[in-house]
Amino acid sequence: MPVNLPIPTPESLLPIAGVRIGTTQAGIRKAGRRDLTVFLLDPGATVAGVFTQNRFCAAPVQVCREHLASGQPVRALLINTGNANAGTGAQGLADARATCAAMARALGLQAQSVLLYSTGVIMEPLPVDRVVAGLPAAIANAHAEPQATQWFHAAQGIMTTDTVPKAFSATVALGGKTARISGISKGAGMIRPNMATMLGFIATDANISQPALQVLARDVAEASFNRITVDGDTSTNDSLTLIASNQLGNAAIDNWEGAEAQALRSAVIGVARQLAQAIVRDGEGATKFITVQVDGGRDAAECRLAAYAIAHSPLVKTAFFASDPNLGRILAAVGYAGIADLDQTRIALYLDDVHVVTGGGRNPAYREEDGQRVMRQTEITVRVDLGRGAASDTVWTCDLSHDYVTINADYRS
């Protein structure tokens, strides 16, 4: 079960003017589940994206990059679950383009106006016939179902090993109006910074130029999805897409200076962080949500090195699962993080309110029972002070349990 993760309801999600969503059961991998989702965007919308840094990126990622670079206005998104269309070579790229073309024909658009996303099993051919056959029902559903319900069903429709849908909404005052923001994400395993096996879609009705939206997309990814890790694996398919429907009527935002622009930016990042943290809370087999905060670095980059070394360590993560305060494992991870001139005598370590290490060694006041008390919690903060400067950074992760192995061993069965 997810760790302290609120389950969304249709009533908790806000429709976004100019964005319609439809879902259907196309039987892409398993029958009886929503697995095909479409976003239909009214003319005038702007779209921006950030994608995986895995060099073995999937065919839909390649197509998305091509279509965004074409300059053609984006009018539709097509998302399938159950098959990643990754590691599929030239045929996979042809299949991706074929599904885009089919979507474009159904809507009277050019193929470059369609963005494509896939998630699921790697190195299996995409069942193009099932995707294409499901398009009419998904498009019809986008016009038939109440919009708030559509956001909820879309969150269900992009799931793979997720146990619950992930969706959040927010509002922010903008130009005397109330801007809406809604977003969904999926992901539970193969999650690692620089994007992971995650898909994220966030839309607002605010007016934002495409260049400003692309800047925001990068900032959002850096502040949220690039700060999570479940297992250290960077996926082939990760994609984060931002949509501004430009329906609110505010003065168009061309940069992120000024109080109102900053308020909107903060609100979008807030939704993204909720979505990103939801992925960790629903990590495969997770029983604990762990915040790793590293302070006292010379710059944020070296703080991240230490934080990710802790968050990726199987020894650290299994200790958290066992509620075992074997905290020397954390110090070992900091030591191999790659900070060449690190002075271990300056290191301090805290487990929530418990001061574990000072001056690079065990705090004389530390008691094992205090560490045990914190380790039994479902939410834990690990704080390391490097004693080198004023920089800090934070990542979010989870423990590593028996169920993680079971889920991934049985994934294709």
Separation of alpha carbons 192 and 197, rounded Å: 8
Please indicate whether residue 24 is annotated as part of the active site: no
Separation of alpha carbons 70 and 111, rounded Å: 11
C-alpha angle 410-411-413 in degrees, rounded to nearest 5: 65
C-alpha angle 336-341-342 in degrees, rounded to nearest 5: 60
Tell me, what DSSP letter sits at residue 238?
-
3-state SS of 62-77 is HHHHHHHHCCCCCCEE
**Max CA pair span of the chain:** 72
CA nearest 311: which of 226, 396, 376?
396
Catalytic option among 37, 197, 241, 397: 197
Element (H, E) at 193: none
Q: DSSP per residue over 244-271, as a string?
A: E---S-PPPB-SS-SHHHHHHHHHHHHH
Which residues are known to be catalytic? 197
